[in-house]
Amino acid sequence: MSAHVFDQAIALAAMGDGVYAGATSPAYANMVGPFGGVTAATVLNAVMQHPALLGEPLSLTVNFCAALADGPFEVSAQPVRTNRSTQHWVVSLTQAGADGASETITTASVVTAARRETWSVDDEPMPAVPGPAEVPPYTVPSPVEWIKRYEMRPVEGAIPHTWDGSGSDSQSRLWMRDAAPRALDLCGLAALADVFFPRVWLRRATRVPAGTVSMTVYFHAGAAQLAEVGHGWVLGQARAQAFRNGFFDQTALLWSEAGHLLCSSHQVVYYKE
């Protein structure tokens, strides 16, 4: 059986010394370069494959320095400090430029941790929304390929069908999962944290150029908790706090259908008038 299209997209071949070779996938193409979520998942996958890995991801920060061109690239994942329960990583994604010289396209930092059983609680409960079976399927009006890789059912804050400048709120809530069944894992969760369209589009009901500059994902669930989700639905909520001087932020929360908070995310996004 062939690998899932997502696993093909984030696949890496070890080259030694924490360096891995990969290539972009047309299945996750965005308007310029690949979907940022799949790039974040690829960066995380380099750490997950490293033989020195301690524990599981606790946080992932990805800085998108430049657009990733279609074709091959390399990812370097290096553990810079290992403590008793946490491990700190520096990751970079490079690609040959027009002159053949290697260029840094993405930088990242990852913290992994050996989790242990403690008192635990979700202080941000899942909002009361209709279940996924009660929300009709929604076809996102977008020509980009990566959108087709996910099934999305918006409860509120769907992408505008009419760009008339009448927007008044930046919050979206939607059920989502891989369109082709795939059990949720940490790399898949990192990608899901970035499926939300730019908040400025919703707030203004005006389509303007926008792109993520930096994205951080905090993982509140490990592999065992995600195994309970399987190919089930995940509820995502995203909203912005401020739009100013060409940049806005976005906070996102993702819950399992059972109501467990899986991850929280924050990113800063560039937009143009």
The predicted structure's pLDDT at residue 242: 97
The share of the chain scoring above pLDDT 70, in percent, equals: 100
The predicted structure's pLDDT at residue 182: 97
The predicted structure's pLDDT at residue 215: 98
The predicted structure's pLDDT at residue 97: 85
The predicted structure's pLDDT at residue 273: 81
Mean pLDDT calculated for residue range 229-253: 98
86-121 residue pLDDT tens: 999 999 999 998 888 899 999 999 999 999 989 999
Q: Is residue 156 pLDDT above 90, yes or no?
A: yes
164-207 residue pLDDT tens: 988 889 999 999 999 999 999 999 999 999 999 999 999 999 99
Mean pLDDT calculated for residue range 118-144: 90
| Answer CATH for 5-115+131-271 from 3.30.450.20, 2.40.160.210, 3.30.460.80, 2.60.120.640 | 2.40.160.210
Average pLDDT of the residues of the chain: 95
18-68 residue pLDDT tens: 999 999 999 999 988 999 999 999 999 999 999 999 999 999 999 999 999
The predicted structure's pLDDT at residue 99: 85
**What are the tokens at 189?**
């969760």
Domain locations in the chain as residue ranges: 5-115+131-271
